[in-house]
Structure 1
Amino acid sequence: MAFLIGAVLAIVIGLSATLFGLDRDRAFYPTVMIVIASYYVLFAVVGGSMNALIIELIVAAVFLGASIAGFKYTLWLIVAALLAHGIFDFVHGRFIANPGVPAWWPAFCLTYDVAAAAYLGWLLTRKRVRADAIPGSASQISNN
């Protein structure tokens, strides 16, 4: 059931974002990726495991970096990050002991991530969302 709900929810959220114009802003999908990456950190806090919290923060930081790079350069990096997070969901329990993770979460999140990646990839190939940042736009301005 978790697989089905994850996939359906990702498609419903993606279609809703497109229907209501929420994904016209390039920041939408990178922000979704950042939120997705933060859940395991939340579960570590809920589970009360400092060791899991440190590991999950490191992993979340990697996905945060990918999200920022995807926003600044190309949303194809977000597609890759979503797929990578789906793989992470699949192997998470084998490498990280996080007592706060609900038993159903990895299956739900894996299918959400893969379905969201597929939807964003479809939007990008159909040119319904601009893949690359516009040169000189706010997403290309450096903070130097």
Structure 2
Amino acid sequence: MALSGTYAPSKSEWVRDQVETYEASGGERGNTLRDSGEPIVVITSVGAHSGNLRKNPVMRVERDGKYVAIASKGGAPDHPEWYHNFVAHPEVELQDGPEPHGYTARLLSGDERREWWDYAVATWSTYGEYQKKTEREIPVFLLEPRD
């Protein structure tokens, strides 16, 4: 079942542009972080406070049909806004290619978090650098396909 609501584009110009390019091309363009060559997916979530649909490019970390979303915010001391959306409304849509699909986001802890964190860092080593920049433990969400 698709998410419903009013789409409220990001206030960040690069995020808006990346999402627009990605969606307009069915994932054929705008599919790397700021044209870096590092692959991304677009995740749609429901705003924790507004109830509006929010879309964010997130690094593509996938294994066996499951994805992780790392709430790094570049190593900032606070979580990205989408972290709060995932906690409040764990039903999300993830687009990795032409079509979005439904997923349920679950915040990981303990050994499961460690396993997926290590996999994410192996996929995109910059996450390890982000963790060094902040005192908070960077949250890891596992996104599992809905029926």
TM-score if structure 2 supplies the norm length? 0.26
Q: Radius of gyration: which is bigger?
A: 1
Q: Whose strand proportion is higher, 1 or 2?
A: 2
Q: Whose helix proportion is higher, 1 or 2?
A: 1
